[in-house]
Structure 1
């Protein structure tokens, strides 16, 4: 088991490889870990770190000093405002080519660009040096990128987790075998409806996606998920999509918030009543034992804030409570420029990931959102527990407001 340990402000982050699980050791827990390192007296936290994150049960003196140094650094590190010392996830836009003709999308298979593989490998090396645990590979159509396997091998060699998003185009048993041999960790299949009719409202490629689900189920070894974009025209279908995921033995369903299209418009925006119904369904799912895991991406912050509500407290808080652009994530576009995320189109040609993370004025502006909220956000009762997607900027339309 390989674990990336990273000192953050007032907390120690541990990322387990493979698997991608993480834990944030903070406050009193840091004291518990430090006490064990000094005295050897165990406690439940230490036992969990030993069992799940590879903390050595009987550390050598050198190992003890290593972890003590990490803990001490949590008191001195100074990350940029409202962000981590480095991203937790980097997205590489591999290509703008795609064979599908989805509504609102500008990609084509014939006319498009590919990310230079040397540029991509340099970015991966920088990410590994900064202890970035997760790398997302996307397009366009990820499988249309000719150097995909090369980058997957690089990510595996650097000890990071790789995730690819696919439509199902070009995916067959042989391609899956090649991806596994290259070291792919997680595969996300894009599907916006349980039936072709519902899916066609926003995506093409229904049969290709269904074929991918069948092949991944047949394989049974690769972690596989469905990426589902929430829209007003497919939200009533979501329970059936979850049943479809269960029938194909998926590891989970990820709910994505709809992003602006090429004209910066939001298609089929969700109404408040629909979002609240979705939240109620998800709460019921969480109460059921052995239900299909349903994850909500952080940038769908209004839904996460609604789900986080309890009588006295809202659990959706901290740096992961919403949009992570420039806070715990960044992206490299197909031209080799850095952007806050794959949907915030503000490329900057910085010489390195570290220089971009520390000095970008665009990232600084995103990190100051709390001082520059829209009037509707400022008036919302959930504003302390919500950080809405910045892809639409001040044109963001929140379903709850």
Structure 2
């Protein structure tokens, strides 16, 4: 009955804790990101999940543990592998919806047929995100290995279904993981998204987790990357679509007079606001690579939420000496001039550092 009040009070508590860098807290996360399964129908060039030898999925028992805190949680964000392959997806969404959580889901879209789209809308999704990354079918095939035209048809149908329903949501977002193979397509990608009825475009730098993705990094093509992101920002402003871009390599976003760029200098509230739950029940600080902090598979929620690693991160994340994992954030506070933003593996960073000595300054 008082679910909304509980969520508001929890959010206010986290704001106070974050403003004072409090370590151990009596609040709960506002946003829980759940990677429901490592199973996927795609083999994307930049993804590390499908390369793992063991296939895992979130157990119903973990969903039950999660349910205890959902009355305090504002948003449940469901990600993959491919969430539409997860056999307990409807149960998870229904559970979170019952507790008044805003539901958000990311998909590659290949399996989002008409029947599944109706089911998802029935759960009251607030956001539906498609991972696209390309305008040209050949580029899409190279990066994601799938059929772009099929996915675009599914996206069009989802938008049409939403519009016909008269419901306010879900708002539709498309993701663009920027790399050398697709950066030239970014301005056209903005046009395409607007034509499709997309509400938001979210762009991030590709992080190379393995050697196969190494040469795709925009760390090796900084001037071209900046030029095309600026061009895309201008296109978005002209045609009226929301574009969310990472900071530029050259760091002159303000000088460009464009509002599309995120800042790496903002304070981070993620250790108080969010948690990332993996299919095996283990928990990470956030989706930005903040490091492990316990498990729901063999521990209590309180022990995980005030895990020593998380407590330490809360006290240091907004200082001049943040935790190592936070200093190399590759989502909310991407810092393009840091190797850690582009290469998660130490051996790849060393290799990139050697090559980078020969790169022109952006």
TM-score normalised per structure 2: 0.72
SS at match of 1:334: coil
Aligned with residue 273 of structure 1, among 191, 209, 223: 223
Offset at residue 112 of structure 1 (A): 2.1
Structure 2 portions without partners, runs of 5+: 164-169
Count of matched residue pairs: 322
Q: 1:303 to 1:179 in 2, by over 3 A?
A: farther
Structure with the higher helix share, 1 or 2: 2
> Cα deviations across residues 63-96 of structure 1 (Å, max 9, x unaligned)?
xxxxxxxxxxx49985546999654422111011
Aligned with residue 137 of structure 2, among 184, 196, 200: 196
SS at match of 1:107: helix
Larger Rg: 1
Q: 1:232 to 1:167 in 2, by over 3 A?
A: same
**Alignment partner of 1:123 is 2:66:** yes
Q: Please give the alpha-carbon distance, in whole angstroms, between the structure 2 residues aligned to 1:96 and 1:315.
A: 29
User: 1:319 is matched with which residue?
Assistant: 267
TM-score normalised per structure 1: 0.66
**Alignment partner of 1:216 is 2:168:** no
SS at match of 1:318: coil
Q: Please give the alpha-carbon distance, in whole angstroms, between the structure 2 residues aligned to 1:103 and 1:217.
A: 27
SS at match of 1:201: helix
User: 1:392 is matched with which residue?
Assistant: 344
Offset at residue 123 of structure 1 (A): 2.1
Higher relative contact order (CA 8 A, sep 6+): 2
Q: Which residues in structure 2 correspond to 1:1-400 (within 5 Å)?
A: 4-6=7-9, 74=16, 79-80=21-22, 86-105=28-47, 106-107=49-50, 112-126=55-69, 128-129=70-71, 131-205=72-146, 206-221=148-163, 222-262=170-210, 266-270=214-218, 271-285=221-235, 287-288=237-238, 291-296=240-245, 300=246, 306-308=252-254, 316=263, 317-320=265-268, 326=271, 328-342=273-287, 344=289, 346=292, 348-349=294-295, 351-361=299-309, 364=312, 368=316, 370-371=320-321, 392=344, 395=349
- Tell me if the contact between 2:199 and 2:242 (Cα under 8 Å) persists in the aligned partners: yes
Structure 1 portions without partners, runs of 5+: 14-23, 25-73, 379-383
Offset at residue 209 of structure 1 (A): 1.9
Q: 1:291 to 1:349 in 2, by over 3 A?
A: same
SS at match of 1:5: helix
Offset at residue 327 of structure 1 (A): 5.5
Q: 1:80 to 1:12 in 2, by over 3 A?
A: closer
- Tell me if the contact between 2:313 and 2:323 (Cα under 8 Å) persists in the aligned partners: no
SS at match of 2:144: coil
